Chain A
Amino acid sequence: MKVVLDTCVLKLATLPNPVNPAALIVELCLAGVLHAWASPAMIEEYQEVLAEHPEFLQRIVSAVELCYPLTELDVIRHKPDNRFLECALAVPANFIVTVNTAHGHFDQKDYQGVQVTTPGGFLKLPAVQKLAQKYFGAA
């Protein structure tokens, strides 16, 4: 399953919240259970936001598969979010995982076959539950 992780999901994964679906999604990506994709523009943003955690940044950058989108989109009103959509459509990814579903951001549930979901919603999907169970079984 191919996913594009929004930067805020990575930020949430680094925090010791009592219930942390973002951390589990990141762990599934690091374990290779999910295939996370990123573009150079996304990695630049990851570097900016995760500067306080260089080891985690290095690990996530080495775990993601790199994509070079050839088109520049202007679909989402908030411009920086378009970089994530460009990557997701170029791959093409199954999901964009984000917590930013407010108006003017990822406010649609589907962008030409790429579904937008929150970390909590993503873990509710039967296919993801199966993958997670396989991961827990192996761990």
Chain B
Amino acid sequence: MSGVPVSDPARIKQSFWRMLVSWPSCGYLKAMQAKAIVGGRLVSFQLSPELARAHRANAGKTMTDKEAVAFVEKKRRALALRRARPYLESRS
């Protein structure tokens, strides 16, 4: 046991900050990492805040290349239909 009394303000302050840092939600503020294969090696890299936010919003979701293509095609179709709406409405 150390000789420093428990009521020592410096120690209280230190334990307070330690508690704050170890608080589970602080993990949210930590820089997010992703992995990719570069030159046959799996490398880990830090994501920019905007991309990290997108990753958090999509947490638990994954997509194959084909699914991503299908997603984009669906959006393209929606955009084309929206553009064509005035013309289609004028014909009906």
Query: Hey, which chain B residues are within 8 Å of A139, CB to CB?
Result: 45-46
A19 to B34, CA, bound (A): 7
Interface residues of A, count at CB 8 A: 42
A window 49-79: CB within 8 A of B: 49, 52-53, 55-56, 58-59
A8 to B48, CA, bound (A): 19
Given contacts A18-B35, A24-B38, contact A8 B47 (CB under 8 A): no
Interchain nearest-CB distance for B82 vs A (Å):
9
Q: Does B17 contact A (CB under 8 A)?
A: no
Chain B 12-41 near chain A by CB (<8 Å), digits 1 or 0: 000000000000000000000011111100
**Of B57, B59, B65, which is within 8 A of A53 by CB?**
B57
A-B pairs with CB below 8 Å: how many? 118
Q: Does A40 contact B (CB under 8 A)?
A: no
**Of A7, A19, A56, A136, which is within 8 A of B37 by CB?**
A19
CB-based contact B48/A30 at 8 Å: yes
CB-based contact B63/A129 at 8 Å: no
Query: Hey, which chain A residues are within 8 Å of B54, CB to CB?
Result: 13-14, 53, 55-56
Given contacts A14-B55, A15-B55, contact A23 B61 (CB under 8 A): no
CB-based contact B79/A20 at 8 Å: no
Interface residues in chain A, defined as those with a beta carbon under 8 Å from any beta carbon in chain B: 6-8, 11-21, 23-24, 26-27, 30, 44-45, 48-49, 52-53, 55-56, 58-59, 80, 99-100, 102, 118, 120, 123-124, 129, 132-133, 136, 139
